[in-house]
Amino acid sequence: MSDSSTGTFTRPTGVKPHWWGVFVLPGTLIFLAVLTFVVAVVISPPYIGGSQTTTATILSSPNYHPVVSYTVDGMDYTVKTMTNMPSWQLGQEIDIAYNPRNPAQASTTGARTSSVVFGWFALAFVIAGVATGIPAVRRRQGTLWAIDHGERVEARITGVTQTTTHVFPTRNLTRLTCQWTSPDEVTHTFRTLGRTLTGTLTIKDVPIRTLPVYIDPANPDARYYVDDSYLGVNGVPVSAI
């Protein structure tokens, strides 16, 4: 952590960076996948995989779960659907999907199609969640490695970005951007994980010009940790303590 009296830095020890921000997007996508899958199951007939289609006649108002009648293998059936379709009319013929093992079980083909669509959406959310989650885990592992084993360099502070959360009290997730040019003249840009400030911070307010960055020399752009501990406890800059 930083030493406010001397301005010197030592390797961070016992650092446990906050990772919730890294996993917000993958977590949200997985949550949407679960939610969409539940919806697909709720609206999906249990016999969806082996259903067959026939024509049914609407016997009651289509505005609220219309009752329909249909014939399968010479036998007549009457069921109340789970679909509200104001565009339908009394006496209109529509397609329904029924369970060939128990023709008394039936639903509109629209419900069957909707459940399939929701199922595909659930699968897409799972794929997107995994696709964003794996890089997040790798970034976390790379950062932890850099904290413990990384080579220290000094990077010049080039910018400050803040994301404001409008709750009481108002808080600002503050990230510092810095750059370091390697011996082979390649410039690398690093960002801090972010700290919460109760006030605003601009580049002019930063009392120092460089930050220590611990990097993997073989892959500095992906495996690094920027030590912004100069911000002090609870996000209060050292200069203000």
Residue 80 domain-assigned (yes or no): yes
Provide the domain limits for residue 162: 150-240
Residue 220 domain-assigned (yes or no): yes
Residue 6 domain-assigned (yes or no): no
95, 159: one domain: no
Render each residue's pLDDT in the chain as its tens digit; 241 residues: 333 333 445 666 555 555 555 667 777 888 888 887 776 665 556 555 567 888 999 898 777 788 999 999 999 999 887 776 777 888 889 888 888 888 888 877 666 566 677 778 888 888 888 888 888 788 888 888 888 889 999 999 999 988 887 666 667 788 899 999 999 999 999 998 887 777 788 888 888 889 999 999 999 998 999 988 776 544 444 443 2
Residue 16 domain-assigned (yes or no): no
Residue 133 domain-assigned (yes or no): no
Number of folded domains that form the chain: 2
Residue 81 domain-assigned (yes or no): yes
Q: What is the CATH number of the domain that holds 81?
A: 2.40.50.140
Q: Please indicate, yes or no, whether the overall pTM of this predicted structure exceeds 0.85.
A: no
219, 156: one domain: yes
**Do residues 194 and 209 touch, judged by C-beta distance below 8 A?**
no
99, 158: one domain: no
173, 234: one domain: yes
Residue 27 domain-assigned (yes or no): no
